[in-house]
């Protein structure tokens, strides 16, 4: 994950037509600006919601807040909910993406503090805000809203497999939390800057907060997984691109089912494989699940992708090099490009390599 | 699917220890005997719940019922809910496994009729019985229970990938509705008859009704898919077998996500691939999704299975030949065995070939 403000301008919401969205996808009108809450999470990958919002919607962030003693920081001004309210904040956003999506007991007092200060709370975890004892009453007394965004639309259909019109790109990963959302956002922006008609299609809590809509794939009842992905990127005109945020990894023992349902339902024409330089095993599990070579990962994704779109191809690799120096990053990118025979770039670093990756996506 | 009563004795419930079940799996005490309801479904694969209960729990079936004009039959006595009640039935079981699991409007009058006759209703579809307008009130007035069995336990964990003790077998398929449950039930019985300690682990509505417990995998929120599979087959002693009912197929554009989550979380030592002789494409979809050769299907399943159990192997093929004559079935079984180099049998036909398949499962 990138560190600090990398000079990325926010996505221009007005430039991304939303009228191709099906009525079934979640349409949101979230109260902003935000105070981003880190809880007691001290590892960046598990605070990826906060970092993602800071990087892609900085104009909507007034500050950060956390449990006492938490050293993790977004490099935003640290302030209490009361201070944030005085500076114009309208909501506290839970910026944590923990495994299983629980609202931890240790955050409760801060959530009450937010409500007392007159802030709404925006929550993308599986657990509902109303499950925090007394919070709903406290919010009602203050007129604050408790907003759970990880709520799939009702009456999702099962997937039909019918081939839809328009073009689709899906970011897939070797693991979680290494750049699938950032890559999809960066590619959407690059496509749009080239004058193409492109929509970012969010599939997780952070993407949905950034993009203002989408499908919380991992909250969908599993029978409807691929169906939800079909709903998320409906028929469009032939030159339209849906750039779909990937979820998890086919190699992840916890989340591969979500990844496969999304892959089948998305019917991608183009895959971009996302990886973090040097990551050798799945993050966050006690047992070691080693990652195979990238070519095997691409092959496995293509075998499944071609089940619903025979023309699916992998355009290249998006390599997260945020933890490397410029020289190390260049070398790592070159190594992956040589190893796979495909364009490779770090979208956050941009440059000619990223331009080449964008071209490879568009040139079939 | 087999037709008619094939002389299969019901599973001996008492022989299958349930104490290894985790508290999280669904424990059921269903009112029986049953009146099996076919609705207006006139294709056998979509009535597989009714056929499964008839074949594996015949002692709990007093008759069948259906919408007017439906020619599909279980070869049980056709009777109204009132007649069934008089013959001792305690519940009407919705015997339909439709795509997406909806309770159809055209069945409503029969459901009311059941409640009026004093029967409980057992429903394994996604849609809740209480969603039928007025049905809950009618049931309450009559003291009838509305039982929705496709309800996953609360507070499922996400999968950890931790390798569990004991042995596991998972039936996987080329498609839906071709014998994964029957194969798992037949193997459980064969293992038990050999004096082995074996549990049938149900993963779908029919299996749960037959077995009296299990995990409704396709109703689990997708983030918890593999976690639910881990809960379903907990640690056991080294010689214990869990025989797990597979779901869907990795090749199915609608349900592959469920199949992959179940495969990862089950950590099977042994796979048995289930196929129907002559089936060339996925059933029930408008577009043609052709099935590849069986060796490719086995390879794809093993690639994923070995992610959580490096020792996973495919023991053989279970071939559904219910629609073939004895001679045709023999030829088809021999052909598949030659093609794959693995034992192949139709468990419903049994015989020496099935004995050999059972041996191949047990001999590593």
pLDDT at A18 over 70: no
What is the spatial distance between Cα A338 and Cα A326, in angstroms, rounded to a whole number? 18
Higher pLDDT, A9 or A146: A146
Please give the average per-residue pLDDT across B191-195, as a whole number.
97
**Does the beta carbon of A160 lie under 8 angstroms from any beta carbon of chain B?**
yes
Interface subset of A 276-305, CB within 8 angstroms of B:
282, 285-287, 289, 300, 303-304
- B266 to chain A: closest CA residue: A253
Which of A162, A225, A256 has the CB atom closest to B287's CB atom? Answer: A162
By the 10 Å C-beta count (0-12 exposed, 13-18 middle, 19+ buried), B107 is classed as buried
Banded model confidence at residue B331, pLDDT cuts 50, 70, 90: very high
Q: What CATH architecture does domain B31-148 belong to?
A: 3-Layer(aba) Sandwich (3.40)
Question: Which range has highest mean pLDDT (A92-106, A137-151, B98-112)?
Answer: A137-151
> Quick one: pLDDT at residue A331?
98
CA torsion sign for A100, A103, A107, A110 is: positive
**Does the beta carbon of A100 lie under 8 angstroms from any beta carbon of chain B?**
yes
Please give the average per-residue pLDDT across B156-185, as a whole number.
97
Query: Which of A250, A256, A301 to mutate against chain B (most B CBs within 10 Å)?
Result: A256
**Does the beta carbon of B101 lie under 8 angstroms from any beta carbon of chain A?**
yes
pLDDT at A8 over 80: no
Instruction: For this complex, say whether ipTM is above 0.90.
Output: no
> Quick one: pLDDT at residue A26?
58
> Quick one: pLDDT at residue B280?
97
Q: For residue range B47-81, what is the model confidence (pLDDT) as tens digits?
A: 989 999 999 999 999 999 999 999 999 999 999 99
Please give the average per-residue pLDDT across A134-150, as a whole number.
95
- List the beta bridge partners of residue A270: A169, A313
For tokens 């657990």, name the residue.
Answer: A127
Is the fold of B31-148 the same as that of B167-362? yes
Question: Does an H or E element contain B250, and which?
Answer: none
Q: For residue range B319-328, what is the model confidence (pLDDT) as tens digits?
A: 999 999 999 9
* Cis preceding linkage at A336, omega within 30: no
In CATH terms, the fold of domain A29-148 is: Rossmann fold (3.40.50)
pLDDT at A87 over 50: yes
Please give the average per-residue pLDDT across A234-243, as a whole number.
97
| Cβ contacts of A48 within 8 Å, gap of 6 or more | A1, A97, A177, A181, A206
Domain boundaries, given as residue ranges, for chain A: 29-148, 167-362
| Cβ contacts of A355 within 8 Å, gap of 6 or more | A190
Please give the average per-residue pLDDT across A79-105, as a whole number.
92
What is the spatial distance between Cα A19 and Cα B246, in angstroms, rounded to a whole number? 40
Check residue A350 and give left, alpha or beta (phi > 0: left; psi -120 to 50: alpha).
left
**Does the beta carbon of B264 lie under 8 angstroms from any beta carbon of chain A?**
yes
CATH number corresponding to A167-362: 3.40.50.300
Please give the average per-residue pLDDT across B83-100, as a whole number.
92
Check residue B267 and give left, alpha or beta (phi > 0: left; psi -120 to 50: alpha).
left
Query: In angstroms, what CA-CA distances link A114 with A39, A81, A111, A117, A206?
Result: 13, 5, 5, 5, 20
**Does the beta carbon of A225 lie under 8 angstroms from any beta carbon of chain B?**
yes
**Does the beta carbon of A255 lie under 8 angstroms from any beta carbon of chain B?**
yes
Given a contact cutoff of 8 angstroms between Cβ atoms, the answer to whether B254 and B175 are in contact is no
């Amino acid at each position: 994950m990138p560190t600090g403000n990398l000079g990325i301008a926010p996505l221009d919401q007005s430039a991304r037509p939303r009228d191709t969205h099906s009525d079934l996808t979640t349409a949101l009108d979230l109260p902003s600006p935000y105070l981003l809450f880190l809880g007691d999470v001290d590892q960046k990958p598990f605070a990826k919601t906060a970092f993602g919002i800071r990087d892609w919607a900085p104009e909507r962030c007034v500050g950060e807040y956390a449990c006492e003693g938490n050293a993790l920081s977004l490099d935003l001004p640290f302030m209490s909910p009361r201070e944030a309210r005085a500076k114009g904040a309208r909501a506290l956003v839970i910026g944590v993406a923990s495994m299983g999506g629980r609202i931890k007991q240790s955050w409760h007092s801060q959530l009450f503090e937010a409500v007392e200060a007159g802030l709404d709370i925006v929550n993308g975890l599986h657990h509902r805000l109303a499950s925090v004892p007394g919070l709903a009453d406290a919010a009602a007394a203050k007129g604050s809203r408790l907003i759970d965004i990880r709520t799939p639309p009702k009456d999702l259909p099962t997937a039909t497999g019918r081939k839809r019109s328009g073009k689709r790109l899906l970011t897939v990963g070797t693991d979680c939390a290494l750049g699938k959302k950032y890559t999809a956002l960066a590619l959407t922006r690059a496509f749009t800057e080239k004058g193409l008609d492109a929509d970012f299609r969010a599939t997780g809590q952070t993407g949905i907060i950034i993009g203002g809509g989408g499908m919380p794939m991992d909250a969908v009842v599993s029978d409807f997984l691929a169906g939800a992905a079909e709903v998320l990127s409906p028929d469009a005109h032939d030159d339209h691109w849906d750039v779909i945020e990937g979820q998890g990894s086919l190699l992840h023992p916890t989340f591969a089912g979500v990844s496969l349902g999304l892959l089948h339902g998305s019917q991608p024409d183009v895959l971009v494989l996302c990886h973090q330089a040097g990551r050798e095993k799945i993050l966050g599990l006690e047992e070691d699940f080693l990652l195979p070579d990238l070519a095997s990962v691409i092959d496995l994704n293509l075998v499944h992708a071609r089940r619903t779109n025979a023309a699916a191809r992998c355009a290249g690799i998006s390599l997260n090099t945020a933890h490397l120096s410029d020289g190390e990053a260049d070398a790592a990118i070159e190594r992956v490009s040589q190893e796979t025979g495909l364009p490779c770039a770090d979208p956050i670093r941009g440059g000619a390599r990223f331009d080449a990756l964008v071209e490879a996506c568009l040139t079939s």
